[in-house]
Structure 1
Amino acid sequence: MESDNPPSTVPEITEIAELHTDLARRHRATASAGDAVDPEVVDADLAALHRDGYVILRDLLSAGEIERARAAITPLLHRTGRNTFEGERTQRVYSLLERTRDCDRLVDHPRVLALLDRLLLPNYLLSQLQAINVLPGERAQLPHHDDGFYPVPRPRPALSAATVWAVDDFTEANGATVVLPGSHLWGDRRGTADSDLRVPAAMSPGSCVFFLGTLWHGAGANRTDRARLAVTAQYCEPWLRPQEAFGLSTGRDTARAVSEDIRRMLGYSIHPPFMGTVDGMHPARLLADRGAVP
């Protein structure tokens, strides 16, 4: 006897690996701004990054861009660190995207995105964004690697990457970020006792040091009588939990206002097949009623 029901047209899945497409349906998206960077420049940056674990990208922002960032950040500098790692004499400001548009270029600069596009999977996420103002008299920060809180044994590929942007001059005396070249390749070895390997990332305002999440580093001591201001942006693989819950701290109006590159990094994107959906659908639909996302 024949069934009254027509044959099913629903695909049969027998292995989870078969789910490799975006089940929430893709939205039209512009190419990454990193695509505009000369491939030879990116190759040179990557070569330094793979060799040393970090690369200094010099003079990416104009004096005007840096001064606008400084003007936006300075009124927000009230709270010092809650422990010696954050810094007893270090001011920190979180949720910068919700507070100002004048730091956006420090998140989505094409030279930075060009590296991230090669290092991480598509639709990587913004993990952290904050201003860091190291005051006179601050001690050197405990050396650490930024993706150390992900419980995956080393040595391994980096699960994240970071930038530290100089708003003030970075010098050895005023607390420039200190890096340990080659430490991204270490296994269980720790960077706390290797003072002879430490190199200050000296650079001028508008430059940034880009490093892998496996690189040992830390803020230096500020032995001067002036503060040292910076902005740091960190990024992680799209299947990891970011350090900051940007979905809670960043409103939809802000998500509409930022670039599409930043919007994807805030989580308005899908890591196939369905990581990041909202009610089974693409999260960009939450913004479509205002026309910012096609």
Structure 2
Amino acid sequence: MSEAMEFEPLEELEVARLAAQVAERGYAVAENLIPDELREALVEGIDRAMHEFEIPYGDNEFLGHCTRRIFNLLARDRLFETTPTFCRTLPVIERVLDDECLLSSLTAIEMNPGQARQPLHADDGSYGFPRPSPTFVALAIWALTDFTAENGGTHIVPGSQGRDRRPNRGDEVDAIQVEMPAGSVLFYNGSIWHGGGENRTDARRVGIVNNYCAGFLRQEESQILALSRERVAAFEPRLRRLVGYGTYRGLIGHVDQRSPEALVDPEIDSDMVWKRIHR
């Protein structure tokens, strides 16, 4: 993939429309967001990483006995730096959360033939806040291959982000199955009940899950420990802040009254809360 390639961002009206759907029903689907050149490069990068790091299959029904997951993608290949800040997806996430959100995790998922349906769950389920709650977690699943009813397209319970509990095994729910062509993106509220479908085909289903959280929450993956400072120093500024080398509202996460971004860029002019206080 050409490093110089640029992509047209989403129009403001489309960003607002998708964010409104996430707020109202808990999810939104947008087709043709990921250009073929980028999508194909990401699939090739995932295949390389699967081989290089000898990624195993899951060992329980949640991870999937016929599914492989590459966690901590940003540490695997610089190619994956493209996805968290992508101009056609991050603006929607920022509208759902805010522009000081964090990248909670970045995971590639390869669901292979024979994979059973995943139990329903909510991706913000490990946080202890009461339900329903404001939106603190939002995700964008990139479909790198077609997502169909036959190959395990994601099951979603519309509106379930407004319920007062997480799903339980055996719940009878009115779920829909998201079908979308390769290059599409599924945006959703982290409280919505969902789960991967059953792959009844002879082909794999491949995607990347971009998981974001509010800037004051602990990330699902400890990005600051998972990524070397040398790697982070090479990131663009927005990606640095997304992985945790920044502060929330100029205070939360500071290091000696400076943004942690100064650890990888000493020349950075941190907009800290102390500078805003009238003297």
TM over 0.5, yes or no? yes
Deviations for 1:153-195, whole angstroms, at most 9, x for unmatched residues?
1111221001111111110110111111111111136365456
- Alignment-mate amino acid for residue 194 of structure 2: H
Aligned partners of 2:109 and 2:243: how far apart in 1?
21
Deviations for 1:57-84, whole angstroms, at most 9, x for unmatched residues?
2111111111110111112222111321
Max Rg structure? 1
Q: Which structure 2 residues correspond to residues 125-140 of structure 1 after superposition, within 5 A?
A: 125-140=102-117
Residue 80 of structure 2 corresponds to 103
Q: Which structure 2 residues correspond to residues 29-48 of structure 1 after superposition, within 5 A?
A: 37-48=10-21
Q: Is the 8 A contact 2:151 2:203 kept in 1?
A: yes
Q: Is the 8 A contact 2:120 2:193 kept in 1?
A: yes
Q: Is the 8 A contact 1:128 1:235 kept in 2?
A: yes
- Alignment-mate amino acid for residue 60 of structure 1: L
Residue 155 of structure 2 corresponds to 178
Q: Is the 8 A contact 2:68 2:111 kept in 1?
A: yes
Deviations for 1:244-286, whole angstroms, at most 9, x for unmatched residues?
0110111123212223221111111111353212244211111
- Alignment-mate amino acid for residue 73 of structure 1: I
Q: Is the 8 A contact 1:180 1:191 kept in 2?
A: no
Q: Is the 8 A contact 2:151 2:205 kept in 1?
A: yes
Q: Identify which range, 191-200 or 37-46, moves more after superposition.
A: 191-200
Q: Which structure 2 residues correspond to residues 198-209 of structure 1 after superposition, within 5 A?
A: 198-209=175-186
Q: Identify which range, 77-86 or 170-179, moves more after superposition.
A: 77-86
Give SS of 1:102's match: helix
Greater RCO, 1 or 2 (C-alpha within 8 Å, sep 6+): 1
Residue 227 of structure 1 corresponds to 204
Cα shift at 1:109: 1.7
Indicate whether 1:74 and 2:51 are aligned: no
Residue 252 of structure 1 corresponds to 229
Q: Which structure 2 residues correspond to residues 1-294 of structure 1 after superposition, within 5 A?
A: 37-77=10-50, 78-188=55-165, 190=167, 192-193=169-170, 197-288=174-265
Cα shift at 1:288: 1.7
Aligned partners of 1:111 and 1:64: how far apart in 2?
15
Aligned partners of 2:192 and 2:173: how far apart in 1?
16
For normalisation by structure 2, the TM-score amounts to 0.86
Give the count of matched residue pairs: 257
Identity of aligned residues (%): 33
Q: Is the 8 A contact 2:233 2:265 kept in 1?
A: no
Deviations for 1:27-63, whole angstroms, at most 9, x for unmatched residues?
xxxxxxxxx6432112211221122100012111111
For normalisation by structure 1, the TM-score amounts to 0.82
- TM superposition outliers: structure 1 runs of 4+ over 6 Å: none
Residue 18 of structure 1 corresponds to none
Q: Which residues of structure 1 form unaligned runs of 5+? A: 1-35
- Alignment-mate amino acid for residue 124 of structure 1: C
Deviations for 1:105-151, whole angstroms, at most 9, x for unmatched residues?
32112232222222224421111111111111011111111111111
Q: Which residues of structure 2 form unaligned runs of 5+? A: 1-8, 270-279
Aligned partners of 1:273 and 1:263: how far apart in 2?
15
Give SS of 1:161's match: strand
Q: Is the 8 A contact 2:103 2:210 kept in 1?
A: yes
